[in-house]
Amino acid sequence: MGKLYAEISVSLDGYVAGPDISPDNPLGEGGERLHDWVTALASWKESHGKSGGSTGPDDELMKQSIARGGAVIMGKNMFGPGQGGPSDDGSWQGWWGDDPPFHQQVFVLTHTKREPLQLSDTTFTFVNDGPESALEQARDAAGDDDVQIAGGASAIQQYLRGGQLDELFLHVAPILLGGGVRLFDNLEGADPKLEPVEVIESPAVTHLRYRVSR
């Protein structure tokens, strides 16, 4: 069985999205700056069907990240805007266009009932019976490979509270958002043990990998 890991970009002040989130602005005010380091990379462009982009340590890391996961879990707000928004309408196909960058099975934690959605080589399966079920399905899909929780904050928090998370891989952007969605929130009762296992330095972002145990 592979590891369950969460990988996410976070501001130095601890936010994974900025304030004033709306359907037109899913990352909130300034939140797109969290991902500036990613969108410039050659590997990211390639996984989005584009050419060009920068190479270097961040790009090597992103290549490994893209290749690593055997399946992905995400929260409903990462797949689409919340309750009552277009994600409750069967026509919503995610933020990523016809060729989403996941290229594997993605399990979406949601109360919305919906048939699986296949877009290119990514399949979104909508899981209505909770995070443990989503984890079981993702582990089945991943086989011996690792399962990634791609976000958002509340999905990561659920697995931290549940004690199932094995690894936390943070991309710390050198920005202060001053408000928005905090990564480390709603963790009452969770007391994970964190152990720094790898640090990767770059001018654009600092990558911190922690081993997580109960």
List residues binding its own copies (CB under 8 A): 12-14, 172, 174-176, 178, 183-184, 187-188, 190-192, 194-196, 198-199, 201-203, 205-206, 208, 210
Question: Two tokens at 48?
Answer: 């989005």
How far apart are CB 194 and its own copies at their closest, in Å?
4
Strands in 65-128 per DSSP E: 69-75, 105-109, 117-119, 122-127
- Quick one: which of 205, 165, 181 has its CA closest to 6? 165
Nearer to its own copies, 98 or 188 (CB): 188
Kindly report whether the peptide bond that precedes residue 53 is cis, defined as omega within 30 degrees of 0. no
Q: How far is CA 182 from the centre of its chain?
A: 14
Nearer to its own copies, 72 or 183 (CB): 183
How far apart are CB 181 and its own copies at their closest, in Å?
14
Measured in degrees and rounded to the nearest 5, phi and psi for residue 43 equal: -65, -35
Nearer to its own copies, 117 or 156 (CB): 156
How far apart are CB 58 and its own copies at their closest, in Å?
12
Tell me 111's DSSP state. S
How far apart are CB 18 and its own copies at their closest, in Å?
13
How far apart are CB 76 and its own copies at their closest, in Å?
24
Nearer to its own copies, 1 or 12 (CB): 12
The residues near 10 (Cβ < 8 Å, ≥ 6 apart) are: 16, 34, 170, 171, 172, 173, 183
For residue 195, give the H/E element and its range: strand 193-201
Nearer to its own copies, 62 or 160 (CB): 160
3 state SS of 136:
helix
How far apart are CB 125 and its own copies at their closest, in Å?
31
3 state SS of 119:
strand
Nearer to its own copies, 67 or 194 (CB): 194
